[in-house]
Amino acid sequence: MKTRSSQANGTRDLRRRAQDRLRVGPTLPAPLPAKVDRVRVLQELQIHQIELELQNEELKQAKAEVDVVLEKYTDLYDFAPIGYFSLDRLGLILEVNLTGASMLGTERSHVTGRRFQLFVAPASRPVFQAFLGNLFAAPVKQVCEAAMLNASQEVFWADLEATPAASTESGSEWCRLAVIDVSARRQAVEAQRRVEILAATNRKLEEEIVRRQASEAALAKSELQTRRLLQEARRLQAKLRQLSHQVIMVQEKQRKQISRRLHDEISQLLLSINVHLELFTKLAIRRPEGIRRSILPLRRLVEESVQVIHRFARDLRPAMLDDLGLIPALRAYISDFPRPRSLKVEFTADPGVEILNNDKRTVLYRVAQESLANVVKHARARVVHVTLSKDRQGVSLEVSDNGRAFDPVLFLNSAWGERLGLIGMRERVEMVGGHFEITSAPGQGTTIRAQVPFAKGGWSRARRKGSA
């Protein structure tokens, strides 16, 4: 607004310009002296007319400038990149720019006078209603996001920013609302979220692929291990079949030996006794005085038969082992078993070994019996040490010689049929929960060690603890 001083200055300036124009303009004829006042009034009127014309020109110029500015700001308002709305407190649309009408997909004339809520999606109307209430309750800027509907009922998302305003003339409340289309941004966010979900899914798929590859590798390894175990089982089955055949052959061989010994030794002795009895009968009839002398060969044959039967029974199952114990049975066997004169056998034993039950004593006896038989057959040794010792866990039997050595690994091979006795010893010891081992080296001879626990499986547990 112009101040009073500026208005006065403008009026004086306007009057001065009117006077200057009047001087250069057409002059009136010299008035009559009687009409001096009339001429002065006429001049004043002319000056006032000129002032009005000047004011009219300024007003036209100002109007042209205002029209230019109005047109410029109208263009800025209508063609702004966001929609502008003027709403009252009920949401009635008072004004809208072209962009806002274009967002709603209709003409401006069809938008003005309608409630803005009609263009808000039903799901977002409670949010918009709260937004509008907060705006007029507190005169501060409010912001919210809502789903909008255009005339074709297509949904788009928009950011709503509103500032309250008041009319100075009517005093009614209204607000300026800016509507910014953020559908592209929402789509970008949604696309980014989907990309992240896809990336997470891809990571899970990659992890699943890695896990499945590991499972497949483990399965392939398991299948390979299974095939190896199957091959090993087949090999062991073949070995067991071969061992069974060998056991049958050994049993047949033992039966043959038993039959031969019964035929060659006991039968011959009994036949000899029978012959001597017949001679003795004839002699007793002819020469009764010679009975004492003729009975002596018969007695020797009976004694020899008894010894053969005792030796035969001892080989099958020594009664001394059941009646007297392991140490007397082994001592008797060592003193009587057939061996070369050059072979010396030394036997030492701890009396505490007799605490073992009968089955375990039998196992140790058979191991010692088979070991000594192998020494005589294969070792060509000069000295054999047989030792029975006792410790906390059980009883140990060691049979060591200074004879020829061999590879201990070979006795596990089923193809080595000549060493079936070694395998039998191992099976006997392991059957009662013990441990069997062979050490043999050139120049050091061979040592066979059988360790039997007091409790069933006790030695195996102790060995596992020690090895662990």
Q: Is residue 389 predicted with pLDDT exceeding 90?
A: yes
In this prediction, residue 398 carries a pLDDT of 95
The pTM of this model reads 0.44
Reported confidence tier of residue 6, pLDDT bands at 50, 70, 90: low
In this prediction, residue 464 carries a pLDDT of 41
In this prediction, residue 19 carries a pLDDT of 61
Two structure tokens written together for 378: 């294969």
pLDDT in tens, 42-93: 878 888 888 788 888 888 877 777 766 666 666 667 778 889 999 998 999 9
User: For tokens 């056998």, what's the residue?
Assistant: 345
User: For tokens 């007029």, what's the residue?
Assistant: 136
| The dihedral formed by the CA atoms of 364, 370, 371 and 376, expressed in degrees to the nearest 10 | 150
- The larger pLDDT score, comparing residue 416 to residue 216, is at 216
pLDDT in tens, 275-285: 767 766 766 66
- Biggest CA-to-CA distance, the chain: 232
In this prediction, residue 388 carries a pLDDT of 94
In this prediction, residue 170 carries a pLDDT of 59
In this prediction, residue 32 carries a pLDDT of 46
Burial of 178 (0-12, 13-18, 19+ CB in 10 A): middle
In this prediction, residue 407 carries a pLDDT of 77
Residues 341, 344: Cα–Cα separation, whole Å: 8
Rounded to 5 degrees, what angle do the CA atoms 236, 237, 242 make?
95
In this prediction, residue 11 carries a pLDDT of 61
- The larger pLDDT score, comparing residue 193 to residue 415, is at 193
Reported confidence tier of residue 411, pLDDT bands at 50, 70, 90: low
Average pLDDT, integer, range 19-48: 64
In this prediction, residue 49 carries a pLDDT of 82
pLDDT in tens, 343-353: 999 999 999 88
Task: Find all residues with CB under 8 Å of 174, minimum gap 6, and list them.
Answer: 86, 87, 88, 89, 94, 164, 165, 166, 167
Q: Which CATH superfamily does the domain covering 83-181 fall into?
A: PAS domain (3.30.450.20)
Q: Is residue 157 predicted with pLDDT exceeding 70?
A: yes
Q: Is residue 448 predicted with pLDDT exceeding 90?
A: yes
Q: Which DSSP helix (H) or strand (E) runs through 43? A: helix 36-78
Average pLDDT, integer, range 378-398: 91
Please report, for the chain, the start and end positions of each structural domain, with discontinuous segments joined by +.
Answer: 4-78, 83-181, 318-467
pLDDT in tens, 298-314: 667 777 777 777 666 66
Spatial contact of 370 and 399, defined as CB atoms under 8 Å apart: no
DSSP string, 361-428: HHHHHHHHHHHHHHIIIII--SEEEEEEEE-SSEEEEEEEESS----GGGGG-TT-GGGHHHHHHHHH
Q: Would you identify the CATH topology of the domain 318-467?
A: Heat Shock Protein 90 (3.30.565)
Spatial contact of 101 and 113, defined as CB atoms under 8 Å apart: no
Two structure tokens written together for 156: 């788009």
In this prediction, residue 460 carries a pLDDT of 47
Q: Is residue 30 predicted with pLDDT exceeding 90?
A: no
Residues 330, 379: Cα–Cα separation, whole Å: 20
